[in-house]
């Protein structure tokens, strides 16, 4: 959380070595006299401080006994993506450092710590936090209409979506986000949270299909010690973690009816009952649900409760497909191009007119995520400045996937695994698209044609986020 008063910014030190915390606190008292320093010996203590104090900068170790610093970093980013976090590692490996930066760390330092370098790094980090805070305050004064974070697009459909998101953020009502895979439902949920009065409280994202059915209830609502074999301690659950903030239940159409009943009680009573508990616990959580499923059809099939559906759809947002916002394709493609170049540490690449035309003419069944992946592949395999049609690898026959390996004599060879994975991904996606087109989205028929089991085919479709209903 960015401190509102930078006359005395607060630095939070997180490490499981008491002597290191004491030594750094004493050193910073002399080296950074205009900052206040707090300490935490582990993840839970640090989270408690973050929820109570406006922290300007966090200096945290990657390895801390029972606490994984990288996982802790991900949790901090959910609470406040703008918080300046510097990671410490005693291992000095590039892999850990890169992973920390990818997860949202601003910088990293290696142990043993060099105090002069560490002081300079923290000073720059505090300056970053100050500038971010000033920019936020300036934008709020100059442009009181709030922008929707992480969204790109100027089409009429996107402008209408922005208005709906802002209106939803102003309320406390439950929100149901509907749309095909790859349209940005998670980004929409995060935007609603970040624009709401709960923005400084936790945001918990739950990928419901990723949690085994027999574990979903205990993960959502928690359990008490001894509730079942292996429950050797109390576990608060995801709803408890989101208390005061927002929880997003992604692909809610896939949760079992038994859990739907308990979720309905949460919506009605604002309370949860952990497994093995005698009494319920009151919570203050805003629920956002998202799905690409036909919930109305699931209700007819008895797979989704009608009363839960009407509890969820107090406010409904529909995410437009990329075909519906085709005029934004160039804007999105160039945005992704800039992001990928930053990730790879390069610059200067651009799309040819023919490549942009191809991007516009493609039907994008995978929507914005498919476009983003196409741009990533193009940047990776284009060794020239101009990205041409051949680099996009879309709408090409399966047999033509191999030529992406052909490179000029002076160009570096793509690592075998990367090249193989890229070709395999292209082949699998094109094969499944052709298969579903021929079967008109009938999964059982597609499984018979491909000599795959229905479960195996559905697993592949989930992995590549291919929506069978698009082919019906």
Q: Which CATH number belongs to the domain containing residue 114 in this structure?
A: 3.40.50.2300
Tally the domains of the chain.
4
Binned average pLDDT, 10 residues per bin, the chain of 472 residues: 58 92 92 92 88 90 82 86 87 70 84 90 89 67 57 88 93 94 94 95 93 88 86 88 94 92 90 88 94 93 93 93 90 91 87 86 90 92 87 59 44 63 75 82 85 83 79 72
pLDDT at 420: 66
Q: What is the pTM of this model?
A: 0.54
Q: How far apart are CA 237 and CA 219, in angstroms?
A: 5
Q: Are residues 261 and 189 in the same domain?
A: yes
Asked whether residue 177 falls in the same domain as residue 123, the answer is no
* Token pair in block for residue 88: 């410490």
Q: Helix (H, G, I), strand (E, B), or coil: what is residue 386? A: strand
Only one residue has tokens 């923005």, namely: 199
3-state secondary structure of 414: coil
pLDDT at 352: 87
Buried b vs exposed e over 323-350: b needs ≥16 C-beta within 10 Å?
ebbbebbeebbebbbeebeeeeeeeebe
**Residue 3: inside a domain, yes or no?**
no
Domain end marker among 294, 318, 342: 318
Residue 309 shares a structural domain with residue 330: no
Residue 23 lies in a domain: yes
Q: Are residues 75 and 59 in the same domain?
A: yes
Spatial separation of the C-alpha atoms in residues 464 and 428, rounded to whole Å: 9
Domain span at 92: 10-141
User: Can you give the pLDDT at residue 399?
Assistant: 38
311 and 337 assigned to the same domain: no
- Structure confidence at residue 395 (pLDDT): 53
- Residue 291 burial (C-beta neighbours within 10 Å; 0-12, 13-18, 19+): buried
**21/52 same-domain check:** yes
Both 440 and 463 in one domain: the answer is yes
Same domain, 31 and 114: yes
In angstroms, the CA 241 to CA 45 distance is 14
Q: Are both 285 and 416 inside the same structural domain? A: no
Bridge partners, 68 (sequence order): 63
Q: Are residues 48 and 189 in the same domain?
A: no
* 2 belongs to a structural domain: no
Q: Which of 282, 298, 318 is the last residue of a domain?
A: 318
Q: 43 near 64, Cβ under 8 Å?
A: yes
The verdict on residue 66 lying in a domain is yes
Q: Quick one: CA torsion of 135, 136, 141, 145, rounded to 10 degrees?
A: 130
CATH number of the domain at 342, please.
1.10.8.60
Do 265 and 371 belong together in one domain?
no
Are 162 and 305 contained in the same domain? yes
User: How many other CB atoms are there within 10 angstroms of residue 163's CB atom?
Assistant: 12
């Amino acid at each position: 959380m960015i401190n509102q008063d930078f006359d005395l910014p607060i630095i939070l030190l997180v490490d499981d070595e008491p002597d290191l915390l004491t030594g750094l606190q004493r050193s910073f008292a002399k080296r950074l006299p205009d900052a206040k320093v707090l300490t935490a010996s582990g993840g839970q203590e640090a989270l408690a401080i973050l929820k109570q104090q406006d922290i300007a900068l966090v200096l945290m170790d990657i390895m801390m006994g029972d606490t994984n610093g990288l996982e802790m970093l991900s949790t901090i980013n959910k609470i406040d993506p703008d918080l300046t976090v510097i990671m410490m590692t005693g291992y000095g490996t590039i892999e850990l450092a890169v992973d920390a930066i990818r997860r949202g760390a601003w910088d990293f330092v290696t142990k043993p710590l060099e105090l002069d370098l560490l002081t300079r790094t923290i000073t720059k980090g505090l300056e970053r936090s100050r500038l971010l805070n000033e920019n936020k305050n300036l934008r709020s004064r100059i442009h009181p209409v709030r922008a929707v974070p992480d969204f790109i697009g100027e089409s009429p459909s996107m402008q209408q979506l922005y208005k709906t998101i802002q209106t939803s953020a102003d309320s406390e009502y439950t929100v149901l986000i509907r749309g095909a895979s790859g349209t940005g439902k998670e980004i929409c949920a995060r935007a609603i949270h970040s624009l709401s009065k709960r923005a400084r409280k936790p945001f918990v994202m739950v990928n419901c299909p990723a949690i085994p059915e027999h574990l979903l209830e205990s993960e959502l609502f928690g359990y008490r010690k001894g509730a079942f074999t292996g429950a050797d301690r109390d576990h608060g659950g995801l709803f408890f973690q989101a208390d005061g903030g927002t929880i997003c239940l992604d692909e809610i159409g896939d949760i079992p009816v038994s859990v739907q009943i308990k979720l309905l009680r949460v919506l009605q009573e604002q309370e949860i009952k952990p497994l093995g508990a005698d009494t319920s616990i009151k919570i203050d959580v805003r629920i956002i649900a998202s799905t690409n499923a036909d919930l109305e059809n699931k209700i007819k099939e008895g797979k989704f409760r009608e009363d839960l559906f009407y509890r969820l759809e107090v406010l409904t947002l529909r995410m437009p497909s990329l075909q519906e916002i085709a005029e934004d394709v160039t804007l999105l493609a160039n945005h992704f191009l800039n992001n990928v170049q930053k990730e790879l540490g390069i610059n200067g690449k651009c799309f040819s007119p023919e490549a942009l035309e191809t991007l516009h003419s493609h039907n994008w069944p995978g929507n914005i995520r498919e476009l983003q992946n196409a741009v990533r592949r193009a940047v990776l395999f284009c060794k020239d400045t101009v990205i041409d049609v051949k680099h996009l690898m879309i709408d090409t026959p399966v047999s033509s996937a191999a030529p992406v390996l052909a490179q000029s004599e002076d160009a570096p060879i793509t690592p075998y695994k990367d090249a193989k994975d890229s070709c395999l991904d292209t082949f699998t996606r094109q094969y499944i698209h052709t298969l579903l087109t021929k079967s008109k989205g009938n999964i059982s028929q597609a499984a018979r044609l491909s000599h795959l089991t229905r479960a195996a085919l559905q697993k592949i479709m989930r992995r590549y986020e291919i929506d069978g209903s698009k082919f019906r």
